[in-house]
Structure formats: structure tokens, C-alpha cells
Amino acid sequence: MTGKVRHLLNRDGRYFARLVIPKEVRPFLDGKTELRTPLGPDRRIALAKLPGAVADLQHKIGSAERKRSGGHVNPSNYRYPLSTPQMAALDYHGQIALDAEIRAHDHRYAAMSFDPAEGIPYREGFSGKLSDDELHALVGHRVERFRQRGNTAAKKGTPEWRQLAQALCVASYEALARQAERDEGDFTGQPTHPLLAKAPPLELKEPVSLKGLLDDYLKVLERGGHGRGARRNWTPPFDRLVKFLEHDDARRLTRAKLIEWRDILGETLSAKTVKDVYLAGVRAVLTWAADNGKIDENPFTGIKVKVPKAIRKREKGYTEAEALAILKLSRAYTPGPKEGPKMTAVKQWLPILCAFTGARVTEIAQLRKEDMRQEGKTTVVRITPDAGTVKTSDYRDVPLHQQIIDQGFLDFVKAAKAGPLFHDLPTKPYEGARRNANRLSAWLAEKEVIPEGVQPNHAWRHRFKTLGRQAGIDPRVLDAIQGHAGRTASDDYGDVTITTMMAAIGKLPAYKL
């Protein structure tokens, strides 16, 4: 069975070269979605003509890209870069294909006598005997054709240009040799010059958009209920990477370029920001792309950022005095005339809920009225991805401490309408919860109750763990309450019940409000 050839299309026994037009340049090619070039009914001839035809179609797309960018495109940033041996091989096969096509249509062509002198200029060209001007007169138009196709940026007068010109001389010399062999009936000849004999395979692969990979990966995450903040957090780093590269093709992304980008980022950003904000998303997307066959290999492999160990000048969580100051401010808060009821509820209830659940602030900020239930005498709150997002993607039930009940939280819940308790974006719960959690942090900072060096929202989680240890609570129970993964495989066996968690939370002392 004949294998499928990339870019070769068979329609009713006739062959075409076919290339899909990138969406962003379709308006500059009359709205077409693809380009085709007829290659005739003979598959053997069509295959011989295919590389040159595809290259010409790539040139048309490159021209459209120049129009899209206002006429200025750096050839080195074109869509289809090729190595010198690949361009020589493409040129050679193009000449051989043309020879085959003419022989198939005109018997007089093969009857013409071959003049060995035709090959002498090309032999002198690749042997280094010709000047740049002489090479330009001989093959300069073919070098320019590769430039216009976007395969090279080589300019006359540079070593790269001379190397390519000499390689094209090799292609013509070898093509003339094949023509002479065919005149004698021998169609088995192959190139003997090492440049062509050892040329890497000519894979005219279409580019793979970096931004497209990001979007595909995020869609996979979102279908699984993960990564709700990833689109917002990772899009700017990808935009910055594409701007640095001056192209959007993951196939052209190299390890060296990524290292260069990392080092440039490090000149103005902290190592932690480079690692956790800029490189984390790129690493995840490229790893996924390589694992799923979107790209041949992951250029990010082995790239690291050494983050100096932070010098800690204090504990990560709030002290007793700091926690008490925040809770007193929160519970005594009275709103101004223009503040909405949801923001008032955020300021009055989120601190004490975080203090006694050890939950992430956005997990509390996304709670809904329907997430509360009563089990006997115990009030239970369900932290669930259905309400917005949960880092582990698993729900968990957390009993409420008696002091929260005594402060009147159940009365607040009873009076609230169905839906979110602490934000007004039921269709975008994560965004609503995150926004109001950030507003809470800003308000506490404005009131100067957040000590220097403390993450205002995360400090409650640290304090909860500290108090739990002081109270002698089983670490597995603390992890279950806070949604932390078990430390060992055995931790995954059995469940931590509501009764067990309530007994643990009951050991936490009330605050003297």
C-alpha cells in the first residue's frame, strides 16, 4: 500500500501539491484556505516535482506575510528556513523533475546531444575557483529564489551566500550528470557528491504555532477542570517569547534560544519570577507538545533556573498578635455607603473562615450558599471545583469551628440569596473570587495590619498548620482539612471523616475578639 505523502493530493487520478494557508494571512490571499499546484497524472513525475512545487507555494505564503506586516519581513524570520544541503538537494531534485517532465512530453529533448562543457562552470564554481560576481552570474538568481521563498537570509558578499552558491553549483553539476545518464537509458543514477549524497531529509513541515500549542494545552486542562488561572498567567510570557524570537514557530525553537531568553529575562527580573512565571508555562506546554507528537523534541529539556534560597527573617504565618489584629479589624468592619454587600461580606468573613479552615483564600471567596450543610450538630462547608476552582481538583468537606458559628455566620448564610456568597460573577466564579480576594489583601495592606515579608492570604494556611501541630492534631487529618496531598502511599488508604475533622478543629483555641 502506498504511504501518504505530505502535501501531495490525489483528486480523480490527478496529483496536486497542496499547502494550507495560515489563518492570519488568508485575507492577503483572497480568503483562500489552501494553495494547490497541478502536478499531472503520473505519480512518479508528481513526486519528483513535489518539493519544488511546495517551495513555490511557500514563497506565495511568504509574500502574503510580507503584505500583512507592511512589506517588511526579515528573511531570517521567514516561515520555512532550510539548511544549505537541503536547499541544494531541493534545487537538484527540481532540475531532475523538470528533466523527467520534458522527456515525458517531447521525444526530441532526449535526442539532443549532451555537451560535457556545460558542466565545467559549475565544477569550477563548487571547487572555489569563481569569484562572488562570477557565482552570482551563474546561480545568483537561484540563491535569490530561496531568499524570496523564506528559506535563507544569505546576502551576496557573506560567507553564507558564497557557501549556498557553491552548493547550488554542485546541484547543477550533478543534475547534468543525471541527464547524460538518462540520455543513455540509465535512470538509476544517484548523486555522488557528499553534499547531496549525505544531505538530511527534506522535510517541508508546516510551522507549529507556539501560541497555538498554548491554546491547545489550555483547552486540554480546561476540559479536565484544571488550569483556570493558566490562560491569564501564561499568555503574557508566551507573547513575550514570540516577540523575542520574532517568529511563532515551535519547530524553529532551539535550546540555545530558550537559554538566551532566560538570561535576558534574568537581567531585569528575579530568578524566582523567571522560573515560576515565565518558564513554568513554556516548559509545561513544550513538554506536553513533545509527549503528544506536536513537535519532534522538547527544546526545554535540561533548562533550569537556580533560585537563591530566600533569607527568612520571620515565620511564614501570622503571629497570635498579628492574627488577632486582622480578625478584630475584620469583625468590627462597617461598610461605607458605596460598597456592595458582597465586598462587605468578604471583609467581614473571609479572614475568620481562613483562620479556622486553613483553606486558600480563593477557595473561601468562591463559596456558595448551597455549599453549606448541617450534619447533626456540625456545620460543614464543601470546598468544590463546582464553585470555581480547587488546586487539587478534588472536593473536600471542612467542619466549621464553633467561634465562626458564634459570630453569626449561619445567620449571614441564611439571609443570603442562592449562589456565591462573596462575589457577583456566578458565570465566572474563579475570576470573581480572585478579584475580591485581591481586594481584601489590598484593604488589609491599606489598614497596615499586614507585616512585611508575609503573604497576606497564604499566611493563614501556615498559621493553621502551626496551631494544629501545637494542638497535637494528626498530620494526616491536618492535610485532609487543608487539601494537601498525603505524604506516603498509605495516606491514600481510608478516609478522614467529618467526625475526626471536627474533633481536630475543636482543639483549636478561639480568638479573644
- Same domain assignment for residues 190 and 226: no
- Same domain assignment for residues 73 and 13: yes
Query: DSSP secondary-structure letter at 267?
Result: T
Mean pLDDT of 39-51: 78
The answer to whether position 463 is within a domain reads yes
Give the model confidence (pLDDT) of 478-490 as tens digits. 988 888 766 655 5
Mean pLDDT of 449-469: 88
End-to-end CA distance of the chain: give it in Å, rounded. 81
The answer to whether position 308 is within a domain reads no
Domain limits for position 162: 8-197
Query: Which pLDDT score, from 0 to 100, does residue 488 have?
Result: 57
Give residue 431's pLDDT band: very low, low, confident or very high (50, 70, 90): confident
- Same domain assignment for residues 140 and 277: no
Query: Measured between alpha carbons, how far is 228 from 224 in angstroms, rounded to an integer?
Result: 10
The answer to whether position 305 is within a domain reads no
Give the model confidence (pLDDT) of 178-192 as tens digits. 888 888 888 888 888
- Same domain assignment for residues 119 and 150: yes
Determine which of 218-227, 233-242, 252-261 has the lowest per-residue pLDDT on average. 218-227
The answer to whether position 473 is within a domain reads yes
Query: Which pLDDT score, from 0 to 100, does residue 200 have?
Result: 67
Spatial contact of 300 and 291, defined as CB atoms under 8 Å apart: no
- Same domain assignment for residues 144 and 235: no
Q: Where are the beta strands (DSSP E) in 99-194?
A: none
Query: Measured between alpha carbons, how far is 465 from 478 in angstroms, rounded to an integer?
Result: 7
Q: Has residue 335 got a pLDDT over 60?
A: yes
Query: Which pLDDT score, from 0 to 100, does residue 23 have?
Result: 81
- Same domain assignment for residues 173 and 229: no
Give the model confidence (pLDDT) of 107-141 as tens digits. 776 777 667 888 899 999 999 999 999 999 999 88
The answer to whether position 490 is within a domain reads yes
- Same domain assignment for residues 35 and 92: yes
Give residue 391's pLDDT band: very low, low, confident or very high (50, 70, 90): low
The answer to whether position 489 is within a domain reads yes
Give residue 388's pLDDT band: very low, low, confident or very high (50, 70, 90): low
CATH number reported for the structural domain that contains residue 461 in this entry: 1.10.443.10
Q: Has residue 77 got a pLDDT over 90?
A: no
Please give the mean pLDDT across all residues of the chain.
Answer: 84
- Same domain assignment for residues 268 and 162: no
Query: Measured between alpha carbons, how far is 214 from 286 in angstroms, rounded to an integer?
Result: 9
Taking each continuous run of H as one helix and of E as one strand, the counts in the chain are: 21, 6
- Same domain assignment for residues 355 and 399: yes
Determine which of 53-57, 150-154, 449-453 has the lowest per-residue pLDDT on average. 53-57
CA atoms within 13 A on the CB side of 129: 8
Query: Which pLDDT score, from 0 to 100, does residue 90 have?
Result: 86
pTM exceeding the 0.75 threshold for the entire prediction: no
Q: How many domains does the chain have?
A: 3
DSSP string covering 172-203, please? HHHHHHHHHHHHTT-------SHHHHTPPP--
- Same domain assignment for residues 276 and 167: no
The answer to whether position 296 is within a domain reads no
Determine which of 80-84, 127-131, 215-219 has the lowest per-residue pLDDT on average. 80-84
Question: Which of the listed residues 271, 291, 311 is the one where a domain comes to its end?
Answer: 291
Give the model confidence (pLDDT) of 350-380 as tens digits. 999 999 998 989 889 999 999 999 998 899 9
- Comparing CA positions, the residue from 172, 184, 157 lying closest to residue 87 is 172
Q: Has residue 448 got a pLDDT over 50?
A: yes
The residue with greater pLDDT, 65 or 87, is: 87
Question: Which of the listed residues 168, 197, 226 is the one where a domain comes to its end?
Answer: 197
